[in-house]
Each structure stands twice: as C-alpha cells, then as structure tokens.
Amino acid sequence: MKPLIEFVGVDVSYGTEIVLHDITFRVDQPEFVAIVGPNGAGKTTLLKTSLGIIKPLKGTVTVLGENVMEKPWKIRRMVGYVPQRERFDYTMPALVKDIVLMGRALRRKVGEPLRKADYRAAEWALRKVGLMDLWNEPFSHLSGGQQQRVFIARALAAEPRLLLLDEPFSGVDIESQEIIVKVLKEYKSKGVGVLVVVHDLNPLLEVVDKILLLNRRILAFGKPAEIVESSLLSKTFQRPVKVLQAGGVYFILGADSHA
Ligand SMILES: Nc1ncnc2c1ncn2[C@@H]1O[C@H](COP(=O)(O)OP(=O)(O)OP(=O)(O)O)[C@@H](O)[C@H]1O
Ligand SMILES: [Mg+2]
C-alpha cells in the first residue's frame, strides 16, 4: 500500500531563513496525526508543503504515492485543507454556499460548470457540520465557530482521502468544537487520514493515533503513550495539563498559546 503521506529529508525556507530542517516522517495507514509545537515552529508551513503550495528547498513530499510538486492538481483533489483561522478573510463577500461549493469546483476543470451532484455534495457537507440552514447566508454574518465549520464543510465536500486542518479549534465556541471533533472521528472511522495542528490535544485525546512534535525539526513522532508524560504541573495549574517532553524541550498542552 502506498503511504498516505511521506516526507523525506525536507528543508523549507523563506528567503534565507530555514524554517523546516530535515523533515522525514511517514504515515502508512489512514491515521489521525496531531501536530504540536510552539508558535513559529513551522506547523502551517508543514501543511502547506504537504499540499504543494510551498516548494521545499530539498527533499521530497508524496501523498498517496504522488509527488506533490509534480501533480499539484491531483493533490488538491485528494486533500481537504482547512487553513488557520486567523488568516481567513472574515469579511469575504460570499455566501456560505459559495464557499462550500468551492470544495467541489476544485474537482472540476477550470470553467467547467458545477453539476447537480456538486450541489448535493455541498449540501451534504454543510449538513454534516450542522449549518444547512445557513446555506444562503452571507459568510461575514457568521460567528467564528460557524465560519470554521463552513471551511470544514468545504474540505469535506471534495470527498478527500486526507484532511489537513490548521488549528481548527482556535477561536471556536464549544458547540462548534464538539461538532468538529465528532466529524473528525467519523472521518477517521471511514479511513480518511487526518493531520491536525493543535495547541491543546485534550479534545482529541481519544482519536489521536500519533503525535508529531515539531519545532522546526521533528522532535518526536509516535503514539501518545510513547510521548505524553504526566507531570506535577497539572497539580500546579489545578487543571489537566499534559506535558510532552522531547529533545530537551517541554510542550505544555492545555494552555492555548494564542490566548
Ligand atoms: N510567507 C512567509 N514569509 C516569511 N516568513 C514566513 C512566512 N510564513 C511563515 N514565516 C515564518 O516561518 C516561521 C514558521 O511559520 P509557520 O507559520 O509555519 O509557524 P506555525 O508553527 O504555524 O506558527 P503559529 O503557531 O503561530 O501558527 C515563522 O518564523 C514565520 O514568521
Ligand atoms: Mg500556524
């Protein structure tokens, strides 16, 4: 079986600054992988490199056996991407349905009209995230959590084999968070691979198969039990805080670094 995603010796730079060093990892099964690391660790860059949006300085990236730099259109059809919310344009003058339908347009050739099946898939995806009644609403009227769910519906509408989500819970209300977790669990059980960047692993602890700790390099990649250490810090904070330790660096989960 072809690996779902594979990085081999990947370096990525912006200008002269190398932000990802020698990234090598491989996900064979459609697993649920949480990517964790401090601000500026290169998490968003890693997702964009997986999509072929950013060209590595060296190394190769393949998704389901396709080199992402060689077959970008194929990758965009197989991979659903939900960008980091701080970077959306909240005032986008579009209706909710237009955004979800974009997920279908990606599957068509440029200029090819959408078909009935595309509308059905978009409606189905919006229903999945519990927002079908907002189909005709302007996107800018929605709350942060609802906007995030619309972007998830856009990714789902494309019937992806791999989902990449960049901090899907940041700035999101608890109801939206619960719906997103439920949808991700369902996709995992359908055999869709999920790579999700999170600051707080707690909402996903039962679904995560592997954790990738990143700080410009991979500090650890493995099953949660191999990586997560309990700590006195939980007592100190008087709430559950998980501590991950790798390469001499401690990551405290449960404290949102964007707060
Ligand atoms: N387009 C860009 N041009 C120049 N530098 C960039 C660009 N995008 C990101 N960087 C820099 O690369 C580094 C990694 O950025 P990246 O956005 O991948 O980190 P991140 O782990 O997603 O951080 P955050 O937790 O804040 O989202 C940061 O130092 C950032 O300032
Ligand atoms: Mg980021």
Q: Domains, the chain, ranges and CATH?
A: 5-253 (3.40.50.300)
Ligand 1 mean position, distance from CA 137 (Å)? 33
Instruction: Spell 143-166 as b/e; 16+ CB within 10 A means b.
Output: eebbbbbbbbbbbbbbbbbbbbbb
Ligand 1 mean position, distance from CA 122 (Å)? 31
Specify the pLDDT at position 235: 45
Specify the pLDDT at position 243: 67
How many angstroms separate the Cα of 146 from the Cα of each of 52, 89, 91, 135, 153? Answer: 28, 14, 14, 12, 10
Phi, psi of 7 (to 5 degrees): -110, 130
Left (φ > 0), alpha (ψ -120 to 50) or beta: where does 172 sit? beta
Residue matched to tokens 């090598």: 24
Task: Tell me the per-residue pLDDT of 163-216, one tens digit each, with 9 for 90 and over.
Answer: 999 999 988 999 999 999 999 999 999 999 999 999 888 888 889 999 898 889
d(CA 108, CA 125): 18
Specify the pLDDT at position 171: 87
Which residue owns the Cα nearest ligand 1 atom 31?
40
Specify the pLDDT at position 224: 78
The ligand 1 atom at the shortest distance from the C-alpha of residue 199 is 25
Task: Tell me the per-residue pLDDT of 216-235, one tens digit each, with 9 for 90 and over.
Answer: 999 888 887 776 654 444 44
Specify the pLDDT at position 222: 86
d(CA 94, CA 206): 36
Specify the pLDDT at position 88: 61
Q: Is the CB of 14 under 6 A from ligand 1?
A: yes
Specify the pLDDT at position 228: 63
Q: Is the CB of 256 under 6 A from ligand 1?
A: no
Q: Is the CB of 43 under 6 A from ligand 1?
A: yes
The ligand 1 atom at the shortest distance from the C-alpha of residue 46 is 18
Ligand 1 mean position, distance from CA 49 (Å)? 12
Q: Is the CB of 42 under 6 A from ligand 1?
A: yes
Q: Is the CB of 215 under 6 A from ligand 1?
A: no
d(CA 108, CA 127): 22
Which residue owns the Cα nearest ligand 1 atom 1?
14
Low-confidence ranges of the chain (pLDDT < 50): 230-238, 255-259
Q: What value, to the nearest 5°, has the Cα angle with vertex 153 and ends 38 and 189?
A: 75
Ligand 1 mean position, distance from CA 41 (Å)? 7
Neighbours of 77 (CB within 10 A): 16
> Which ligand gives the minimal distance to the CA of 37?
1
The ligand 1 atom at the shortest distance from the C-alpha of residue 38 is 25
Q: Is the CB of 18 under 6 A from ligand 1?
A: no
The ligand 1 atom at the shortest distance from the C-alpha of residue 84 is 27
